[in-house]
Amino acid sequence: MSTAPNPDQRSNPRPPVDRKLAPWQLRLHEIIFEADTPAGKLFDILLIFAIFMSVITVMLDSVAGIRAQYGGALYIIEWFFTILFSVEYLLRIVSLGNPARYARSFYGLVDFISVLPTYLSLLVPGSQYLMTIRVLRLLRIFRILKLAQYLNETEILIKALRASFRKIAIFLFAVMTMVLIFGSLLYLIEGGESGFTSIGISCYWAITTLTTVGYGDISPQSPLGRAVASIIMVMGYGVIAVPTGIVTAELVAPITGKVSTQACPVCGAEKHSYDARYCKSCGSELNPD
Amino acid sequence: MSTAPNPDQRSNPRPPVDRKLAPWQLRLHEIIFEADTPAGKLFDILLIFAIFMSVITVMLDSVAGIRAQYGGALYIIEWFFTILFSVEYLLRIVSLGNPARYARSFYGLVDFISVLPTYLSLLVPGSQYLMTIRVLRLLRIFRILKLAQYLNETEILIKALRASFRKIAIFLFAVMTMVLIFGSLLYLIEGGESGFTSIGISCYWAITTLTTVGYGDISPQSPLGRAVASIIMVMGYGVIAVPTGIVTAELVAPITGKVSTQACPVCGAEKHSYDARYCKSCGSELNPD
Amino acid sequence: MSTAPNPDQRSNPRPPVDRKLAPWQLRLHEIIFEADTPAGKLFDILLIFAIFMSVITVMLDSVAGIRAQYGGALYIIEWFFTILFSVEYLLRIVSLGNPARYARSFYGLVDFISVLPTYLSLLVPGSQYLMTIRVLRLLRIFRILKLAQYLNETEILIKALRASFRKIAIFLFAVMTMVLIFGSLLYLIEGGESGFTSIGISCYWAITTLTTVGYGDISPQSPLGRAVASIIMVMGYGVIAVPTGIVTAELVAPITGKVSTQACPVCGAEKHSYDARYCKSCGSELNPD
Amino acid sequence: MSTAPNPDQRSNPRPPVDRKLAPWQLRLHEIIFEADTPAGKLFDILLIFAIFMSVITVMLDSVAGIRAQYGGALYIIEWFFTILFSVEYLLRIVSLGNPARYARSFYGLVDFISVLPTYLSLLVPGSQYLMTIRVLRLLRIFRILKLAQYLNETEILIKALRASFRKIAIFLFAVMTMVLIFGSLLYLIEGGESGFTSIGISCYWAITTLTTVGYGDISPQSPLGRAVASIIMVMGYGVIAVPTGIVTAELVAPITGKVSTQACPVCGAEKHSYDARYCKSCGSELNPD
């Protein structure tokens, strides 16, 4: 019947051209991709430990004092983990019937991007610090812990955010317009002396203020500038209410019940509550679901 | 039947005195005001591109280093776009049966104000930076993309904000009162040394604090001042909840359905939605309000 | 009948011992306390204008430069308004049958306190700046504008805040406990060098951080201090959700409908929805309201 | 009957091995653990007073100027209160039939930890400042005031937070991932000059920004860094909406009533509350889950 549109229909509907897998490939697949066997579980736990260690290595390497003393050791450890994850990536490819689909999936992309920065650092020094993106691989943690409940909750959150997407896009457009107009205004009023040296920086300040972050590295000094800034702050105060309201409304709905989507078979009126038996517009009996 | 009051009835109800349009005017109207024909769509895309370019020109011009080097070129580009938009504005006026209505509409005003700053800069140097208001013209983007869905969502947001208007006005009055009283108090306690040099500046600080922006360019230094500031901060914490609650409540309503306070005259059932005409429990007609 | 408890029953239930008023008193009462007659309306408009002017006088007087030049004139104006409001207060007392009740009411207290600071400034220099409390008198503005709708909305807001009072009190107790514990912790970790010179100041910093104000005049410098501060910030992030949720829940209720307060006459079950006809626990018919 | 699962079933279900108490132990128990008798009430009031005094002593002791002058006296007072609370703790243990259960309970642990810091300060100087944890003992205040209503509200709040726990855990995981990725990015872009001296500090800055605290001790200076920071701020703006929405949704539910997804087997009515056993429209029995 398919009354509700399938949210996954954007993924490739073409049936995968699966290769025939050899027994060692099936065994490998079981270890790497599943967490039900002891070997699979052990693999996942070791993997998560390695991800943690490699992220901590990068973070330590970024501290100047530590790099000066242990730079060499950290360099070797970084390459050790990178080669480890590269091999793991290749094994994943090898053990799959349809590796192209994995390579294009979210996890496949994260696994690939996680390995890149160290290689890239040979060309662009410093890019190894982007290795922290490996933290995204930790999402696998949910699989080991068998946190079906968590996945369910994640789905509710993502559904609410997706349902709010259009409203939030409009809201962001409105915010950006306010930022540009108020940024220009403050640039005109304050001039360069108090830090408003260009409209771009002025807009950066406006974002800082509207989001109530307020670093204070740039702040208006003239009475007029402060008066206008006060208006922005109070507006931002009202404005912060909007995305909260949007997301909350979507999160409240699954708990207290949405209005029904059924239409009256006689007059076509919509928005009946779920327990309505008669059309509230024309009084005809509604179809039971 | 018009059961619901028309939200646009505040706009001029007098029938427009439409001029008879010549064929070239009709053709022009189709290009400029509509986005269904290829020519109309092309016009809109070029227009949006021009708006983007002109805003970026102004932003670049505001950077001292860039202005020093490319000031002349940017000046010419600014005037080019201004004359372009002036001509476009005139064409809009010319191609309409009732130009007065357009000129007084939201889009008409934005189009007019977008052109002003450059001319104004001949009299008041610097006012050309207000040209960034042109970004408001980008609202037209929704029309090209045929984002009817977005317009629908925008309507829900605006409706929620309008429904919350009175509550937010009262709330702002309360906030302003708190700002004035706490501002005076901190001026008395702190005096001029830590930056509280007048009640006005003290109120600016109070707004900064209540909205949780907290630049830190002015902040209390005395123990008593800090104690009072702590009270303001905690109050602000509770206070931020109010506009959020107001807007959220309005946004929750269209999802879960507002309920009317009227009861069915036959069976006494309650909790009908506002637009119900028949009782959802027994199908009897409800009393019109 | 009186099914709902009267929210004003805390005010004095004893019947007022009204004096017999002379005709000039009745006339005075009409002008001062009512806004229906032209004279009453004019009085209220003049009063609001005077309140505005007197608040602006105090704000100007607090600016050192302006006080140096116009101090004498501002001093006279301040006393002029103070005497004006004192006379007005006396007239209010005189024109009432039961002046004691007015003197103890919210408006009566505000009117009295509004007059005090200038007199007090003869004893305690500087206290005249507290005159800004006069802004509270502007609440009368709602009466002139006949904003019954606004009063209604104010009532909804106050009702929601009152209903949330206990939850917010508990929440504030929890916040204060967190502030004290984290404040002590940061005092221990950071010591005096980065500004955490006592537990009191450390708690001030903790409030600044939990409320996301973040002035930055005091901020942790040591790695451990920053790690603990990060925990506080993320906790504050979750914590800000609580008062918002509390107030929002109360504001959503009157729009989408609360569960009914009626109990089943047979089994005593509660929390039926408003349109329930049969007890959801035992199936007996519920009493119609 | 026990239709609802007992929320306390996690506490020890094994029947306590109660000692036989002597009359003086019963009397002591009545004084220390109950607040119904005059002696018990007096004890609780004195205890709360002592807790307040001891916390204030520690706070005063942390102010360098006060410690220099009254250090000796404050040292004696601290030890006085510590010995007092130690004796009180021993009396609590002595007067209970099952002291092990008390010692492992929340209040028992708080009572024990409250006494530790002063003793610990003999080994680790400075640790006496952790004595402020005694403030947790003030939770007993609710018992004296017989604030059953407050306990009820506390339960609602805790229930809402517990119900939101999983959603908030997922949310925090997402936030931490964002913090690590954006922190690394800013470290790369800004380098050490503007304070981003390591990925760790960069992540601290990212937390500061995402939570909208914004101290401003570290803030991006380069145009690219500011552009990326703007994105983080706007994302943080949307992100703040999520925990608020989660908690609000749970707090709205008990007011407006959660709805079950089951339909009546006879009349098909939906939107029954979760604890409904009979259809609210036709009175038929609903299927048990």
DSSP chain A: ---SPPTTTTS--SPP-PPPPPHHHHHHHHHHH--SSHHHHHHHHHHHHHHHHHHHHHHHHTSHHHHHHHHHHHHHHHHHHHHHHHHHHHHHHHT-S-HHHHHHSHHHHHHHHHHHHHHHHHHSTTGGGGGGGGGGGGGGHHHHTT-HHHHHHHHHHHHHHHHHHHHHHHHHHHHHHHHHHHHHHHHHHH-TTTT--SHHHHHHHHHHHHTT----SS---SHHHHHHHHHHHHHHHHHTHHHHHHHHHHHHHHHH-PPP----TTT------TT--B-TTT-PBPPP-
Token pair belonging to D80: 């006085």
pLDDT tens, residue by residue, D44-94: 889 889 988 988 998 998 888 898 999 899 999 999 999 999 999 999 888
> What are the boundaries of each domain within chain A?
21-152, 155-243
Candidate from A242-251, B251-260, C187-196 with smallest mean pLDDT: B251-260
Q: Which chains touch D (3 or more CB pairs under 8 A)?
A: A, B, C
* DSSP conformational letter for B217: S
CATH of domain C21-152: 1.20.120.350
CA distances from B236 to A248, B217, B285, C243 (A): 21, 19, 48, 11
At a CB cut-off of 8 Å and minimum separation 6, what does D250 contact?
A: A255, C245, D159, D160, D161, D163, D164
Confidence category of residue B2, pLDDT binned at 50, 70, 90: very low
Contact between residue C281 and residue D3 where contact means Cβ atoms under 8 Å apart: no
Q: Which residue of A has its CA nearest to C258?
A: A256
Average pLDDT over residues A253-282: 57
- Alpha-carbon gap: A190 to the closest alpha carbon of chain B (Å): 12
pLDDT at C86: 92
Confidence category of residue D11, pLDDT binned at 50, 70, 90: very low
Q: Is B259 helix (H, G, I), strand (E, B) or coil?
A: strand
pLDDT tens, residue by residue, B21-33: 788 888 888 888 8
pLDDT at A77: 93
pLDDT tens, residue by residue, A142-198: 665 555 566 676 777 777 778 777 777 778 888 888 898 899 889 988 877 788 988
Candidate from A207-211, C56-60, D242-246 with smallest mean pLDDT: D242-246
Q: Which residues of A touch B276 (CB under 8 A)?
A: 280-281
B184 contacts C132? CB cut-off 8 A: yes
Read off the pTM: 0.81
Note the Cα D210 to chain centre separation in Å: 23
Candidate from A67-71, A117-121, D171-175, D274-278 with smallest mean pLDDT: D274-278
Contact between residue D135 and residue C181 where contact means Cβ atoms under 8 Å apart: yes
Token pair belonging to B180: 């004035």
pLDDT at C164: 77
Residue A285, strand partner residues: A278
Q: Which residues of C touch A212 (CB under 8 A)?
A: 212
- Alpha-carbon gap: C59 to the closest alpha carbon of chain D (Å): 30
Higher pLDDT, D108 or A131: D108
Mean pLDDT is highest, among A56-65, B136-145, C140-149, C260-269, for A56-65
Q: Which chains touch C (3 or more CB pairs under 8 A)?
A: A, B, D
Please determine whether the domains at B21-152 and B155-243 fall in the same fold group of CATH: no
pLDDT at C98: 84
Q: What is the mean pLDDT of chain D?
A: 78
pLDDT at B155: 75
pLDDT at D128: 78
Q: Which residue of A has its CA nearest to C259?
A: A256
Mean pLDDT is highest, among A253-267, B141-155, B269-283, C132-146, for C132-146
Phi and psi torsions of D263, nearest 5°: -110, 155
D253 contacts A243? CB cut-off 8 A: no
Class of domain C155-243: mainly alpha
How far is Cα A58 from Cα A67, in angstroms, rounded to an integer? Answer: 10
Q: Which residue of B has its CA nearest to C202?
A: B226
pLDDT tens, residue by residue, D264-278: 666 665 555 555 556
Higher pLDDT, C39 or B11: C39
C241 contacts D63? CB cut-off 8 A: no
At a CB cut-off of 8 Å and minimum separation 6, what does C130 contact?
A: B184, B185, B188, C117, C120
B215 contacts D216? CB cut-off 8 A: yes
A275 contacts D188? CB cut-off 8 A: no
D255 contacts C273? CB cut-off 8 A: no
